[in-house]
Structure 1
Amino acid sequence: MDAEVQEDFREFVANRSSALLKTAVLLSGGDRHAAEDLLQNALIKAAGRWHRIDEPEAYVRQILYRQQVSRWRLKWPRRELSVPELPETGSGTDASSAAELRLVMRAALARLTARQRTVLVLRYFEDLPEADVARLLGCSVGTVRSTTHRSLARLRDLAPELAALGPAGAEQQPSRDFSPVEVRP
């Protein structure tokens, strides 16, 4: 790697690593250490081909997704996170409710399978269409749809308190009235 390419790579890492780490944390279910490993491996792979990459961020993100897919295809058991005390639950209307919402969401995402979590991150955090998610994961659009549906249902089962914590609770949702409307010329 010549000096100019090396400097370009260092600049990319300095500017984009925090955003890429956020994605990696979501993909790894909130395990920051696993996320750092995931990002580090992706950056190592990208560094070897840096002089041939046209869109570096898209390339590194694709490596992240594919590495995560490879990880959940392995048959290794998941590690469990042990904590000395259970976190307190409750809902408040102050600034702590947003932090509490993030913690509940992180815990619920961590309890999903890696495949379910990856599909939800790609669909809703990365805001990718189903066809792009299917292409990235190497599956059909129907598989993405069914996995998304099952993942959201499981997320609702794992964390029913999300509806109470969020700013838009179930009672605040606008009703969808699809009754016929008479139109007069």
Structure 2
Amino acid sequence: MRRSQDAEFEAFVRRHRAQLVGTARLLTAGDAHLAEDLVQTTLVKVYLAWGRASQQPAAYARRTLVNCLTDHRRRPFFRREQGADSLPEAPVEDPAMVDPELVAALAELPPRQRAAVVLRHVHDLSVDEVADALSCSTGTVKSQTARGLDKLRALLTPTQLTGDSR
């Protein structure tokens, strides 16, 4: 019995881990290291709850990922952390990274708006699915998404929005 559940979970991880990391990177405004940590924590929690999660594992994992991010931001060390003006070393370019201008614009959004926009428009989830993932009402999802898109429109130039490079 346990081996079949482990095989199911392993197949789920192989199929969805990259997407979870991508979502986490967008939710963390491009922080690749935090995204990896959040996905790892998410996968541990999904594994421990596989009996419940196996019905809709992708939705369960997305909700768990958002909850892990919320938990991380509530920790005391998060509030005490001090940012530096410059990095101690040059970052390594990641070819799989999403457009840096988009990530920078997403970083300007509050976490709740960022999560609503990413889940709604990057992952093309319905309003109900996003509401379930964020543990809020559909009206909240709609308002957070609308506000987030308005702010993104103000931050990005028209050529960035259309992808037109003329």
Scaled to the shorter chain, the TM-score interval is 0.7 to 0.9
The match for 2:160 is 165
The normalised TM-score by structure 2 is 0.74
Give, in angstroms, the shift of residue 115 of structure 1: 1.1
Runs of 4+ aligned residues of structure 1 deviating over 6 Å after TM superposition are none
User: How many corresponding residue pairs?
Assistant: 154
Percent identity of equivalent pairs = 36
The normalised TM-score by structure 1 is 0.68
> What per-residue deviation string (whole Å, max 9, x for no partner) do you get for residues 59-81 of structure 1?
21221123234445668447647
Three-state SS of the structure 2 residue aligned to 1:128 is coil
Give, in angstroms, the shift of residue 166 of structure 1: 4.2
Which runs of structure 2 are paired with 1:21-40 in the superposition (5 Å)?
Answer: 21-40=21-40
**2:137 counterpart letter in structure 1:** S
The match for 1:133 is 130
Relative to its length, the structure with more helix (as a share) is 2
**2:29 counterpart letter in structure 1:** G
Three-state SS of the structure 1 residue aligned to 2:30 is coil
1:41 maps onto 2:41 in alignment:
yes
Q: Name whichever of 5-14 and 117-126 sits farther off.
A: 5-14
Contiguous gaps of at least 5 residues in structure 2: 88-95
Bigger radius of gyration among the two: 1
> What per-residue deviation string (whole Å, max 9, x for no partner) do you get for residues 35-64 of structure 1?
111111111011112244223222212211
C-alpha contact (below 8 Å) 2:105/2:156 kept by paired residues: no
The match for 1:56 is 57
Rounded Cα–Cα distance in structure 2 between residues aligned with 1:11 and 1:135: 24
CA RMSD of aligned residues (A): 3.1
**2:67 counterpart letter in structure 1:** R
Rounded Cα–Cα distance in structure 2 between residues aligned with 1:110 and 1:47: 30
Contiguous gaps of at least 5 residues in structure 1: 85-98, 170-185
